[in-house]
Amino acid sequence: MELRNDLRNIAIIAHVDHGKTTLVDELLKQSGTYRENEHVDERAMDNNDIEKERGITILAKNTAVKYKDTRINIMDTPGHADFGGEVERILKMVDGVLLVVDAYEGCMPQTRFVLKKALEQKLTPLVVVNKIDRPMARPDEVVDEVLDLFIELGADEEQIEFPVVFASAINGTASMDSENQDGKMDILFDVILDTVPAPIDNSSEPAQFQVTMLDYNDYLGRIGIGRVFRGTIKNGDQVSLIKLDGTVRSFRITKLFGFMGLKRMEIDVATAGDLIAIAGIEDIMVGETICPADHQDPLPALRIDEPTLQMTFLVNNSPFAGREGDYVTSRKIEERLMTQLETDVSLRVEHTESPDVWTVSGRGELHLSILIENLRREGYEIQVSKPQVIIKEVDGVVSEPVERVQVDVPEDYTGAVMESLGERKGEMRDMVNRGDGQVRMEFYVPSRGLIGYSTEFMAQTKGYGIINHVFDGYRPLHSGQVGGRRQGVLVSMETGKCTPYGMMQVEDRGTLFLEPGTEIYEGMIVGEHTRDNDLTVNITKMKQQTNVRSANKDNTVTMKRPRILTLEEALEYLNEDEYCEVTPKSIRLRKKILDKSARERDEKRSKVSK
């Protein structure tokens, strides 16, 4: 069996923030991929605005470096569980995985998720213990944790014999010894060449290429990115596209692209093992196979994890609709949602009885909130409902999604966290006192119990706690209410501008969400009530002007700082009878029924029907 020894395909997988993208930066720099005078941003692979701002990878990306006459294709994958659909497809394109683990945090929920996917694909692993320069780093213990995780996930004997490289990606150093960091990334490159299998060279057989990622270009249209699994593909070839439903389309390849560094370059020919991009096919989709017309042999379809969370998207119908956005009609919003489906395989968009309402399903709150954030940045105005988990029947039993939750908190806060997760039907599985004042706890919690929990968790742990969760599977449905907001809200009874005077009159009733001078409308949520019921307030009230001097006229009165909600916090905060109005300039919470009398009548009716 011939091998292509001049090529290696590898994916970098890890929990979020363990340093994957920074490590790729260093591999690019130290391989000589950049010119000496070339300016390169930090985390160069994260090229999307939201990725840069949040310091997370959302979309998988590929690059390539040259080392000792060998081309190494590197796939940088997301660390968040919500983008697991990206990770799963990427693993189909590679022969080995580089598992990055933080030298202090060790194995986290997403480490387990991505490693499980890699072991299922029978990929060859190698482990990088990163951030070795961190204070409190415990590299040797972390290696033991990783080994335990491999065994727990059913790794075979070959996979368990993984090499370990100790690295500090931010300093650009690597070593085989946890005590010594005097080497450069050459050590890691050598381990990749020695460990990751070279692709099989079957370039003389009929071609076979599978699409695993999609891109779009205004000039070339849709671009399919994937791996040549067999044979040779040339620019200008007449080929067949085997669709997911089994139908076959013929087309000519108009452009072929290869990758080097951060650039995509035109090429004329690609052979077995190459990762390439193909243009010229209008409706190409993820999982479809390209092969010669006279040898139609489709590859197995890619399995994508199903969505676990859904939200209702609506056309904005608030009193301020159309003021701040460029695209407000149902036609424009639907077009945009359908465009998103072309590149986001984990997303589902369903029509409802109303042409102005859609049910949008995704992998989690972050997945959906990033879609909403992209829409508002592009000039769209929409309203969204509270996120709901997707309940389904498994083997005849009504089941709901359950998450594996890992919590790291100072010892003082363990009781409060255990109590609050217990109320949300959490089941504790493990508790380890790390000896440095930190306690790590592991729970299984129904997904609906975690909606809106992160804000409460941060308040409970005074911001010192770290919470991570990953989808674990479906379990029988818990009866009754799980989680949810405890406080009621302050609802505006007037339309106008909120005044400092009006706001100070209601300050003792709760926490306000607005700055003075913000325009508000009747039915809009302006703050959180201190009690569990909703309260209608007037914060547009002006102070009566008189010509009578007041004894305390010159006293300075200070207002409490308002709590301004981010998009994620606003979505988590919602109740069943509320919407979040999202525009390019504003995020507003509102009641579904704006009129106070109509709202009270509806509440009475719902109580009677129960």
Pick the CATH number of 7-195 from 3.20.20.120, 3.40.50.300, 2.60.40.10, 3.30.300.130: 3.40.50.300
Q: What CATH number should be reported for the domain whose range is 401-476?
A: 3.30.70.240
Q: Which pairing describes strands 70-76 and 96-102: parallel, antiparallel, or unpaired?
A: unpaired
29 labeled binding residue: no
433 labeled binding residue: no
Which residues, in sequence order, are CB contacts of 218 under 8 Å at separation 6+?
Answer: none
pTM across the whole model: 0.77
536 labeled binding residue: no
pLDDT in tens, 190-237: 888 888 888 888 888 888 888 887 776 667 777 888 888 888 888 888
What pLDDT was estimated at residue 553?
A: 54
The partner residues of 415 in beta bridges, in order of sequence, read none
- The dihedrals phi and psi of 23, each to the nearest 5 degrees, come to -65, -40
Higher pLDDT among residues 383 and 91, named by residue: 383
Cα–Cα distance for residue pair 217/293, rounded to 1 Å: 27
pLDDT in tens, 388-419: 888 888 888 888 888 888 888 888 888 888 98
Reported as a pLDDT band with limits 50, 70 and 90, residue 34 is very low
17 labeled binding residue: yes
Element (DSSP H or E) covering residue 440: strand 438-446
Reported as a pLDDT band with limits 50, 70 and 90, residue 313 is very high
pLDDT in tens, 462-501: 878 888 777 788 888 876 677 667 788 999 999 999 888 8
21 labeled binding residue: yes
Residue 459 reports pLDDT greater than 90: no
End-to-end CA separation in angstroms for the chain: 70
Residue 552 reports pLDDT greater than 70: no
Say if CB 410 and CB 417 are below 8 A apart.
no
Lowest mean pLDDT among 246-250, 257-261, 381-385, 591-595: 257-261
276 labeled binding residue: no
Over range 276-299, report the average pLDDT: 81
pLDDT in tens, 349-373: 999 898 999 999 988 787 888 889 8
Residue 545 reports pLDDT greater than 60: yes
pLDDT in tens, 506-516: 888 888 998 88
131 labeled binding residue: yes
Question: Which residue from 265, 276, 196 is spatially nearest to 234, judged by alpha carbons?
Answer: 276
Cα–Cα distance for residue pair 19/99, rounded to 1 Å: 11
Residue 35 reports pLDDT greater than 50: no
Tokens of 323: 């003021």
What pLDDT was estimated at residue 312?
A: 93
What pLDDT was estimated at residue 81?
A: 52
What pLDDT was estimated at residue 588?
A: 92
Say if CB 465 and CB 408 are below 8 A apart.
yes
Reported as a pLDDT band with limits 50, 70 and 90, residue 587 is very high
Boundaries of every domain in the chain: 7-195, 208-292, 401-476, 489-578
Residue 40 reports pLDDT greater than 50: no
Over range 428-444, report the average pLDDT: 84
Architecture of domain 489-578: Beta Barrel (2.40)
What pLDDT was estimated at residue 584?
A: 92
What pLDDT was estimated at residue 167?
A: 86
Reported as a pLDDT band with limits 50, 70 and 90, residue 80 is low
The string of DSSP letters for 242-286 reads E-TTS-EEEEE--EEEEEETTEEEEESEEETT-EEEEE--TT--T
547 labeled binding residue: no
Higher pLDDT among residues 156 and 545, named by residue: 156
554 labeled binding residue: no
Q: What percent of the chain has pLDDT over 70?
A: 88
Reported as a pLDDT band with limits 50, 70 and 90, residue 176 is confident
CA dist 559 → 500, 503, 521, 535 (Å): 8, 8, 22, 20
Instruction: Report the mean per-residue pLDDT for the chain.
Output: 81
20 labeled binding residue: yes
Instruction: Check if CATH label 2.40.30.10 holds for domain 208-292.
Output: yes
